[in-house]
Structure 1
Amino acid sequence: MRNSAAVHAAPRHAAETSGTGKRGFWIVTSVLALTLTAASAPTPLYGIYAADWHFSSITLTVVFAIYAVALLFALLAFGTLSDAIGRKPVIIAALVLQAAGMLWFITADSVTWLVVARIAQGLATGLVSAAVSAALLDLQPPGRTGLAALTNALMSTAGLGAGALGSGALVEYAPHPQRLVYIVVLIAAVVLLVAVIFCVDETVTAKRRPQLWSSIAVPKALVPAFLAAAPCLVATLALGGLYLSLGPSLAHELNHSTNHLLGGAVPAMLCGTGALATAVMRSSSARSCIIVGCTTLAVGPGLTAVALGIGNSPLFYASTVIAGVGFGVGYLGTLRSLVTLADPEHRGALVSAIYLVAYTAFSVPVVVAGVVTTREGLEHTAIGFCAVLAVLAVTALAATLRTSNRAARVAPPSPAGLTDSQSS
């Protein structure tokens, strides 16, 4: 799951760091990229695990979804921990957890150990999300306003795509297909652990007693906007969950092939397109992002359903690219439309509510799809899933247009011509 915590916008705790500041920024960026790469690395291997250990689609989707549950727990329980004890200790703890997860993957001989490894990954990603987002803001080079947020968004989505594609290539063409990808990630985690310890400055100078568990609330004034954005948020994250869990299996069925690089290319195309679209529309208004995102979220999954129904592989990949635009831009617009409306004192609780909806949408529908697959088959389940996503996207688009038109009728002009994209 992509990192969403950039919206916390933590203040600088230490002044501009010198010497290792710029280097520290890119090391922390590498930690984020590695974390999301590791998150999608098991994707091309799920089919192998299911075949070797004879478990069903339900079990496969539970193994996938448990990651999101652990991630949400870590975010809600420890999301503000780095503000209290420092960025480095939290990032170091996350890297240690990531390394432990890789070791459990390497030695796994049953579904139980897959679940344990995925829990470790989810906890590591949850810890990294808030700490890395804040550290990037702290270490952002002077005069490069916006670099931290853009780097955060791009590395998160690109990391997911790189993990699936790289893992597919190693599984298909390299030796030890069920272990090599995890060994590579383990080595990278150890290298980055050493780099963080010795080459990254701590930016939190005023330590305090940590307060765990984030509050979850939507300010009353923002409830209409939240409800309008929720279908887009759900569609975006559910789409990501579908492609990252069952995408390779769909590619194998359509192409009548077991090539794991071909399977890994499906989530990679979705995430890569999402990253590119995010970069292209990074300066666009929230409304523009949601309109483009919801439109492509409706068209992409709709064409995917058609492609699966007629068994057309090229159309399936084309629809994945279209859906990828919605995956990146829809999420960007949803976050921007909500977070910029909240007062600073309510922003943390609102972000926690967004996380709750997002990770529930990322995990629960996938498990439901796993249950339905055992009765209706993968193809029919995916068609129904995509149809629901398209309906959600159309609903979100209509709600967005209705809400923005209503706001335009009643809102006073923005001071000095400030737009929502500039204020975000």
Structure 2
Amino acid sequence: MTAATPVTPATRARGGFCLAVTGTVVLMAAASAPSPFYPQLTEQLQLPPVATTLIFAIYAIPLLLALLTLGSLSDRVGRRGILTVGSVALSVSLLMFWAADSFLLLLAARALQGLAAGLLVPVLNAMMVDHEPSRWLGAAALANTVAPMAGLGLGALTAAGLLDLPGIDAGTIFLLLAAVFPLLAATAWTIPTPPVLPGDAGPDPRARRVSAATRRRIIVSVAPAIIAGWVTNGLFLALGPGIIATRFHADTYLHQAGSIIILAAAGVVAATALQGATARRISVFGAVSLGAGTVLSLAALAVPTLPGYLASVAVVGAGFGTAFMGAMRTLLPHVDPGQRATVMAVIYTISYLAMSVPVVLAGFLVPALTLPGAAAVLGGVVVLLSITATLTHLRTPTELTPPATQHRPKGTRRP
């Protein structure tokens, strides 16, 4: 920027926050874009049902390895470099999807996509906290919830809509997405990084040990809700289009992707509507909605009734969005600035394990139980986890659940 337009803290916050939110939306859109054509891939390549879930779940293996080994790297070497490497890797993976003509190449593309996501997820989520607007407490927790869900819904909606058009195939979608990430990386280098403040090094060693113990306690308390939500997320991303196609005889990509779109939209609406509530109230609402919506969806599959099923998906989506936001609202106030990417890597390691392992299991169950039967098994797990999460949140001490989101008065600074 020129001398006439100095970089102010407000400018830095707006630019970095918008970049992180946009990057997360596009990243999750790229993750969900393949979902609408999984049934088509299965048919064209004559793959067994487990192959579809393997294409989906292979994404999580390198992602988890990257989260575990490299998730904290941006805390030490800076956000922009890691963001650039991850963006380039993701573009390459999307080009591999565009060129894929075999099961092995699809697996390789999906694996590289997972590795890139493992680099990008903690960086982007940490950047949301780094650049949180100073007059909006809780903006980072809200964005960490809304941006991924918006991306999931946008990716599924765009891919399904384009695939229903004549002359448009999956390759077109991947080329469009591949072009976005180099722009994202280039933009990151135009945004000044936040200065390292004297207090950013953290408290004295004794206080840091107490803080670390508190963080571990909070992570354990929010884990059941996170796991329940991400099991549900994996279920709908991997099996949702197939369930709509086979159980309700949907014959367009847009109809088959309907459950993903509704899940994401409901999560965004619920999280936005409840952003002013306490962390505990948000968390309990999310856990109860996840359990209730899952029970309703299984009942709708048993009847079967498509309107009832889609309504239950909306309840589940509201639960997923608010359960994750409640977890973030509970945890983020207890995270030191120099540990944000590290903590987000831990959270997303739990999340992606919860998303991938049950989906692979479901792939093996489908031949014996059918898609609705496999969904019922996973649904039972979600209900049990939701009950556990509800009871855990109700027993959580009040001091570990921050108050409702508040807008800071103009001119005040964050303590």
Please tell me the TM-score bracket, short chain as reference.
0.7 to 0.9
Match of 2:314 in 1: 321
Q: Is the partner of 2:251 in helix, strand or coil?
A: coil
Give the distance between the partners of 1:21 and 1:336, measured in 2 at CA. Answer: 19
Q: Deviations over 1:277-316 (max 9, x none)?
A: 1111223222211211111111111011011111111101
* TM-score normalized with structure 2 length: 0.83
Counterpart pick for 1:372 among 356, 361, 365:
365
Q: Is the partner of 2:257 in helix, strand or coil?
A: helix
Question: Does structure 2 conserve the Cα–Cα contact (< 8 Å) formed by 1:240 and 1:362?
Answer: yes
User: Are 1:266 and 2:262 counterparts?
Assistant: no
Match of 2:3 in 1: none
User: Are 1:200 and 2:191 counterparts?
Assistant: yes
Identity %: 29
Question: What does 1:118-129 correspond to in 2, within 5 Å?
Answer: 118-129=110-121
Give the distance between the partners of 1:20 and 1:230, measured in 2 at CA. Answer: 33
Match of 2:378 in 1: 385
Give the distance between the partners of 2:91 and 2:340, measured in 1 at CA. Answer: 33
User: Are 1:361 and 2:350 counterparts?
Assistant: no
Counterpart pick for 2:183 among 187, 191, 195:
191
Q: Is the partner of 1:324 in helix, strand or coil?
A: helix
Give the distance between the partners of 1:124 and 1:376, measured in 2 at CA. Answer: 34
Question: Does structure 2 conserve the Cα–Cα contact (< 8 Å) formed by 1:38 and 1:163?
Answer: yes
Question: What does 1:2-401 correspond to in 2, within 5 Å?
Answer: 16=8, 22-140=14-132, 143-197=135-189, 199-203=190-194, 227-338=220-331, 340=333, 352-401=345-394
Q: Deviations over 1:136-174 (max 9, x none)?
A: 444455545544443333212101111011111111124
Name which of structure 1's ranges 218-227 and 263-272 shifts more when overlaid on structure 2: 218-227
Give the direction of change, closer, same or farther, for the CA distance of 1:236–1:148 in structure 2 (3 Å limit): closer
Q: Is the partner of 1:257 in helix, strand or coil?
A: coil
Letter in 1 for 2:307: P
Q: CA deviation at 1:55?
A: 1.3
Q: Deviations over 1:45-102 (max 9, x none)?
A: 1111111111122121121112122222222222222233222211111111111011
Name which of structure 1's ranges 168-177 and 330-339 shifts more when overlaid on structure 2: 330-339
Q: CA deviation at 1:229?
A: 3.6
The count of residues paired between Structure 1 and Structure 2 equals 389
Give the direction of change, closer, same or farther, for the CA distance of 1:132–1:347 in structure 2 (3 Å limit): closer
* Cα RMSD, aligned residues only: 3.1
Give the distance between the partners of 1:134 and 1:337, measured in 2 at CA. Answer: 16
Q: CA deviation at 1:261?
A: 0.5
Give the direction of change, closer, same or farther, for the CA distance of 1:286–1:51 in structure 2 (3 Å limit): same
Give the distance between the partners of 2:131 and 2:350, measured in 1 at CA. Answer: 30
Give the direction of change, closer, same or farther, for the CA distance of 1:311–1:252 in structure 2 (3 Å limit): same
Give the direction of change, closer, same or farther, for the CA distance of 1:396–1:121 in structure 2 (3 Å limit): same
Question: Does structure 1 conserve the Cα–Cα contact (< 8 Å) formed by 2:291 and 2:382?
Answer: yes
Letter in 2 for 1:254: R
Give the direction of change, closer, same or farther, for the CA distance of 1:318–1:87 in structure 2 (3 Å limit): same
